Structures are given as C-alpha cells and as structure tokens.
C-alpha cells in the first residue's frame, strides 16, 4: 500500500496515548473529546476518548490521506452518475465532468463534498467498497483499533465509526503529510475553474489554526477535528457530538499551549554529554544528538535522560559514527530516544619516546 508510516512513530503514538491525561482544568460540551500534542503524541486532555461514535465528515481526513498515498494529484477523474448524485454536502459535480484528483481533494476538504468523496473512491479504489478496504487497512496500520470505515464521506452507517482517540491518531498522521496539510490549511482557493472556501471557520476564528475538518449529520451531531500551531508546537483537538465546538476547540488550545509548552530535550547537533574514551589521545569525546526531540511539559514535571552506549568507547574513533542513544523518560516511562554520534576523531594514545626507543643490542 503506497508509502508506509514509520513503525517506530506509530508505536510511540500508541504507547503515549495510553498515558493518563490531566483532567478538570478545562471542559467541553462534547460527548467525547481529546487534546493531543501532535509531535510527541502526549494526551493533554481527554473525555470519553474511547467511546465509539459516529464521525460524520471528519471521515474525509482518512479519504484524503488514502487518496494522496495511493493516487496521483495530476490524475484525471471522470465523475460518475453515482458520484454526482450523492446526497448531502457537495462541490456540485456534474455527470461526465473531468477534474484532477487535486481539485477533487480541495472540494473534499474545503467544501466537504460527498460527491467528491465518491468520485475519489471510485477512481482510487475502483469502487466505494474497494476504497473502504484501503481506508480500513490504513486505519489498522496507524493503530486505530476502534475504528471502522464503510464509506468515504461519513454518511451514517452501522459499520462506520471511530473514537476521539483514534481520530487524533489519524489527525497526527494527516498533518505529517505535506500535501494534505497544505490543503486543509487553505481558506479559499480557485482551482479547476472552481472557487472554494473552507468550511472550517476555526481557520479565521483563532490565530495559529492550520486545519483540519468539520462534520455534521443529524445522528452524529457536530464533529470537529482541528490542528493549531504556536511557537513550533502543534496540538490536535477532536470533539464529537459537540454543539459548541468552535469555542471548545479554542479553549482546549488556550489550555494546552499555556499548560504544556513544548520542552526541547535534544537538538540536532547538540552536545548532550561527554563520554570517557579508553586508549585514546584524549580522555573524553562529546556525544552529539543526531535528531531533535521535544516533549510537552507542565510546570513541575521533569524528564530524565539516560545515556546508553553500544559498547565502551575505545580509540580509534571517527567523528559522526553512531555510538549509542540518549533515552528520555517521564514518570519512569520511555517517551523518546535519539541516536548519539561521536563528536570528534580520537586517535590512539601515542606511547612516549622513552618507551618506544629501541637501543642497539
């Protein structure tokens, strides 16, 4: 199936989502809700996050992700009669009309076009049923254990449901896809002869909102998945069956950014520690972080760092070689790790001239 999401990232997301979140400091009108730090996966707030719920058009986040991974933006898609006459919200497609997949994706995510969803599904999956299989395969790959997709648009169906927690997993994966992140952050676009405006009013209601997707059916009520960024930190909020979702999402973000600012645990190229060297011309060598790791930290919380070397460092050593890892733990549980690189070349110690001098026999 197209490009695969990195297994390590998914394992971290699934692990971290199991950590308890602080409750009581903020509340919502939603039946189910969750607030997550998008890059670390830490849950900052949750309310009935594992309740199985209808998700309406927030379904289209998965539709778009699958279409981008499996299709080509420049593909020409011919609109079928079934797609054109799909009930509900629409980008007003006409039978036989030909559009690029990219145009349909904008119609899907900005106009919430159910017609666009069907046209995309038929093109990428061969049929709605075939596309639903791809959606469910991707859900399983992402670790969305309590989710089932029956269609690409979110119309009510007994086999179509998810949870706030699973939708947060999906949202994090979606915002890591550059194409999808670009589409859902767009307020207005003219493409393929159409001008489309995003239904997600949160993009204009609050500074820092960068997506994602609204949804509504009479049975599901109002559903909203969104993402906001502040000073490089990204948070994802999900509310299901929430009549006050615009205000609730703003309140969740105000709480999350103020209570859990992101703390840089390691920065690419940063020296984290020095390590002893055996038999070297110098006695220590810097250990350099090979990547950047951050973690949202509330006041008074402390993240511990543990250095794990693959073996004792013995000269000669070459700068840039991987020699171990730094492991970060919070409340005794691992929250991340980064490779450590040797920070310099280390030659073997040179024996003294006295010891190496060979006298004539």
Residues 189-234 pLDDT 10s: 999 899 999 999 999 999 999 999 999 999 999 999 999 999 999 9
pLDDT of residue 13: 47
Residue 285, pLDDT > 70, answer yes
Our answer to whether residue 112 is catalytic in this structure is yes
Catalytic residue (choose from 3, 27, 40, 60): 60
Degrees (nearest 5) of the Cα angle 214, 217, 222? Answer: 45
Our answer to whether residue 60 is catalytic in this structure is yes
pLDDT of residue 7: 37
Give the rounded percent of residues in the chain with a pLDDT score beyond 90.
86
- Beta carbons of 166 and 145 less than 8 angstroms apart: yes
On the CB side of 76, how many CA atoms lie within 13 Å of its CA? 4
pLDDT of residue 110: 97
Residue 19, pLDDT > 60, answer no
Catalytic residue (choose from 57, 89, 226, 294): 57
pLDDT of residue 11: 36
pLDDT of residue 251: 97
Give the model's confidence band at 9: pLDDT under 50 very low, under 70 low, under 90 confident, else very high: very low
238: which residues sit within 8 A by CB, 6+ positions away?
32, 33, 34, 58, 164, 167, 168, 171, 224, 225
Alpha carbon distance 43, 9 (integer Å): 15
Interval 83-87 mean pLDDT: 96
Comparing 355 with 344, which gets the higher pLDDT? 344
pLDDT of residue 25: 77
CA distance to 80, 116, 255, 286, per residue, from 178 (Å):
29, 21, 27, 35
pLDDT tens digits for 129-179?
999 999 999 999 999 999 999 999 999 999 999 999 999 999 999 999 999
CA distance to 43, 83, 108, 218, 358, per residue, from 87 (Å):
36, 9, 14, 14, 95
pLDDT of residue 351: 53
* Secondary structure class of 222 (helix, strand, coil): strand
pLDDT tens digits for 100-127?
999 999 999 999 999 999 999 999 999 9
Residue 98, pLDDT > 50, answer yes
Its pTM stands at 0.86
Listed ranges 6-20, 57-71, 297-311; the one with the highest mean pLDDT: 57-71
- Beta carbons of 189 and 106 less than 8 angstroms apart: yes
Give the model's confidence band at 360: pLDDT under 50 very low, under 70 low, under 90 confident, else very high: low
pLDDT of residue 358: 52
Catalytic residue (choose from 40, 112, 262, 294): 112
Our answer to whether residue 57 is catalytic in this structure is yes
Interval 300-311 mean pLDDT: 94
Within 10 A of 357 (CB to CB), how many other CB atoms are there? 8
Q: What tokens were used for 194?
A: 């159409």
């Amino acid at each position: 199936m197209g490009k695969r999401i990195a297994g390590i990232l998914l394992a971290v997301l699934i692990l971290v989502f199991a950590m308890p979140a602080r409750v009581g400091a903020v509340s919502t009108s939603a039946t189910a809700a969750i607030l997550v730090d998008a890059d670390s996966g830490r849950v900052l707030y949750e309310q009935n996050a594992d309740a199985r719920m209808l998700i309406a058009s927030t379904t289209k986040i998965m539709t778009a992700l699958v279409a981008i991974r499996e299709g080509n933006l420049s593909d020409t898609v011919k609109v079928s009669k079934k797609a054109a006459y799909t009930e509900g919200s629409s980008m007003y497609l006409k039978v036989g009309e030909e559009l690029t997949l990219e145009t349909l994706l904008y119609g899907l995510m900005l106009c919430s076009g159910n017609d666009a969803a069907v046209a995309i599904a038929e093109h990428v999956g061969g049929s709605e049923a075939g596309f639903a299989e791809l959606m469910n395969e991707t859900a399983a790959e992402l670790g969305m254990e309590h989710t089932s997709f029956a269609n690409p648009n979110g119309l009510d169906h007994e086999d179509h449901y998810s949870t706030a927690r699973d939708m947060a997993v999906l949202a994090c994966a979606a915002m890591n896809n550059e194409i999808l992140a670009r589409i859902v952050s767009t307020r207005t676009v003219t493409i393929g002869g159409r001008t489309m405006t995003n239904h997600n009013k949160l993009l204009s209601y609050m500074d820092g909102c960068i997506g994602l997707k609204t949804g509504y059916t009479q049975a599901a009520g109002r559903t909203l998945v969104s993402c906001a960024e502040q000073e490089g930190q990204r948070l994802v909020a999900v509310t299901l069956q929430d009549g006050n979702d615009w205000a609730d999402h703003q309140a969740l973000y105000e709480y999350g950014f103020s209570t859990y600012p992101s703390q840089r645990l390691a920065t690419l190229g940063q020296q984290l520690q020095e390590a002893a060297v055996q038999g070297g011309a110098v006695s220590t060598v810097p250990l350099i972080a090979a990547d950047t790791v951050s973690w949202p930290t509330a006041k008074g919380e402390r993240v511990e760092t543990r250095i794990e070397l693959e073996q004792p460092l013995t000269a000669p050593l070459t700068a840039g070689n991987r020699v171990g890892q730094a492991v970060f733990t919070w409340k005794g549980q691992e929250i991340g790790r980064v490779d450590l690189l040797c920070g310099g070349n280390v030659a073997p110690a040179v024996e003294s001239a006295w010891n190496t001098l060979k006298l004539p026999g």
